[in-house]
């Protein structure tokens, strides 16, 4: 499944610092059942770790290329199967 980063680009336009954390790096910090509150707590815990690696926000051109390549390969885009 592809992640959408248009929100990150919009927030950057407002002058904020955007740092994306891959879900695989947050998962070890989830302590209990999966729900929004526990996910938020895990993200907050992971974000303050000094060794946390963040993912840069993709440009619109990069996102467009990745979407095209995924469609060409017949993969799902944004969780929606691509007809082919």
Name the average pLDDT for the chain. 78
> Is residue 24 one of the residues assigned to a domain?
yes
Q: In 1-84, where does DSSP find H-type helix? A: 6-13, 23-26, 36-47, 60-73
> Is residue 79 one of the residues assigned to a domain?
no
Domain with 40, as residue range(s), is 6-57
> Is residue 81 one of the residues assigned to a domain?
no
- Mean pLDDT per 10-residue run, the chain (84 residues)? 65 87 85 86 88 84 78 63 54
Length of the chain: 84
> Is residue 33 one of the residues assigned to a domain?
yes
> Is residue 75 one of the residues assigned to a domain?
no
Angle between helices 6-13 and 60-73 (to 10 degrees): 180
- Which pLDDT score, from 0 to 100, does residue 10 have? 86
> Is residue 67 one of the residues assigned to a domain?
no
> Is residue 78 one of the residues assigned to a domain?
no
Total domain count, the chain: 1
> Is residue 68 one of the residues assigned to a domain?
no
Q: Which of 46, 54, 42, 49 is nearest to 8 (CA)?
A: 54
C-alpha to C-alpha distance for 83 and 78, rounded to whole angstroms: 13
pLDDT per residue over 46-69, tens digit each? 889 888 888 888 887 887 787 777
């Amino acid at each position: 499944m592809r992640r959408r980063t248009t929100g990150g680009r919009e927030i950057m336009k407002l002058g904020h610092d955007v740092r994306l954390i891959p879900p695989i790096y947050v998962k070890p910090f989830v302590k209990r059942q999966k729900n929004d509150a526990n996910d938020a707590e895990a993200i907050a815990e992971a974000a303050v770790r000094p060794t946390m690696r963040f993912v840069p926000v993709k440009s619109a051109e990069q996102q467009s290329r990745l979407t095209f390549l995924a469609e060409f390969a017949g993969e799902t885009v944004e969780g929606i199967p691509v007809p082919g």
